[in-house]
């Protein structure tokens, strides 16, 4: 499972409670250009396979729930947060989900350093 970037989680909440996704923001920006242009969705957007949708949901919910060391260094993702999210969303194969969420977390943590 991969993401071109974090578009799925980048939302903007307006004062009236309306939520605009990063994709919608991008489309709006391209629409407002002079002359209007078509956004490069095929380079940014990633459609997930069905078997990755639950993993993505749990990862995006928990990726900022981390365990840090004394100096603030991120050591791991909080497994309790993953467990709670899996229970809330009634994930059936929790061991597989936990493993895949942790692999995603460490993949993106390596990418960021």
Say how many domains are in the chain. 2
Any domain includes 20: yes
Which SS3 state, helix, strand or coil, does residue 95 take?
A: helix
User: d(Cα 31, Cα 83) in Å, to the nearest integer?
Assistant: 41
| 2 against 81, higher pLDDT | 81
Give the alpha-carbon dihedral of 61, 63, 65, 69, to 10 degrees: 180
Q: pLDDT band at residue 12, thresholds of 50, 70 and 90? A: low
Tell me the pLDDT tens digit for each residue of 25-83: 788 888 999 999 988 877 776 677 888 889 999 999 999 999 999 999 999 999 999 99
Tell me the pLDDT tens digit for each residue of 82-113: 999 999 999 999 999 999 999 999 998 887 65
The closest alpha carbon to 60, from 17, 110, 20, 100, belongs to 100
Same domain flag for 99 and 56 = yes
Q: Range of 66's domain? A: 50-112
Residue 44 near residue 21 (C-beta atoms within 8 A)? no
Same domain flag for 39 and 55 = no
């Amino acid at each position: 499972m991969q993401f071109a970037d974090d578009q799925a989680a980048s939302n903007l909440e307006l004062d009236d409670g309306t939520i605009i996704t990063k994709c919608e923001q991008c489309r709006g920006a391209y629409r407002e250009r002079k002359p209007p242009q078509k956004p490069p969705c095929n380079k940014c957007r990633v459609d997930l396979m069905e078997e990755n949708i639950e993993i993505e949901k749990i990862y995006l919910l928990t990726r900022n729930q981390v365990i840090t060391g004394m100096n603030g260094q991120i050591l791991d993702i909080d497994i309790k947060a993953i467990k709670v999210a899996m229970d809330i969303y009634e994930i059936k194969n929790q061991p597989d989900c936990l493993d895949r969420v942790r692999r995603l977390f460490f993949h993106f943590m390596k990418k960021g350093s």
